[in-house]
């Protein structure tokens, strides 16, 4: 503990893991305040357009995605030079701007995100299901 503030638990693997070619990870992005923004089909469509555009530009393969009313699940693979962390940061920034255009005020996303690096011995199909 530093001073009076408890130290946050590290939930990330080392940063270099997120840029190794062929690394696959499941990512869960939660909406701040658990607002059901993905119930809006137009907003969801705009976010998925950005997901595809950024992925193509940044060398990230989107293996699967699933939008729920208040969060987004992604299965991603590194195929270029961009780290998954940088990709998610840029995606969250761009989609926040879309959210503001759809009337969302303040932050769209919860801080950070949850991830799981898919291990070699794990079956990608398991994560797709």
pLDDT tens string 6-63: 766 666 677 778 888 999 999 999 999 999 999 999 999 999 999 999 999 999 999 9
Number of Cβ within a 10 Å radius of residue 15: 11
For residue range 74-122, what is the model confidence (pLDDT) as tens digits? Answer: 999 999 999 999 999 999 999 999 999 999 999 999 998 888 888 765 6
List beta partners, residue 30. Answer: 71
Alpha carbons 113 and 11: distance in angstroms, whole number? 9
CA atoms within 13 A on the CB side of 101: 10
In the prediction, which pLDDT does 9 show? 61
Alpha carbons 61 and 87: distance in angstroms, whole number? 11
Higher per-residue confidence, 124 vs 26: 26
Q: In order of start, what are the domains of the chain with their CATH numbers?
A: 20-128 (3.30.70.1290)
In the prediction, which pLDDT does 14 show? 74
In the prediction, which pLDDT does 10 show? 62
In the prediction, which pLDDT does 109 show? 97
In the prediction, which pLDDT does 120 show? 67
In the prediction, which pLDDT does 18 show? 84
pTM of the predicted model as reported, rounded to 2 decimal places? 0.85
Work out whether the CA dihedral 110, 46, 87, 115 comes out positive or negative.
Answer: positive
């Amino acid at each position: 503990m530093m001073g009076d503030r408890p130290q946050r638990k590290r939930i990330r693997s080392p940063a270099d893991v997120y840029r190794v070619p062929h690394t696959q990870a499941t990512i869960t992005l939660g909406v701040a305040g658990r607002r059901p923004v993905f119930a809006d089909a137009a907003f969801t469509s705009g976010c998925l357009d950005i997901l595809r555009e950024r992925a193509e530009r940044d060398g990230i393969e989107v293996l699967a995605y699933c939008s729920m009313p208040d969060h987004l699940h992604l299965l991603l693979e590194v195929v270029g030079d961009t780290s998954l962390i940088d990709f998610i940061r840029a995606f969250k920034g761009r989609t926040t701007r879309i959210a503001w255009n759809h009337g969302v005020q303040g932050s769209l996303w919860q801080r950070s995100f949850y991830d799981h690096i898919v291990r070699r011995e794990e079956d990608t199909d398991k994560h797709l299901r």
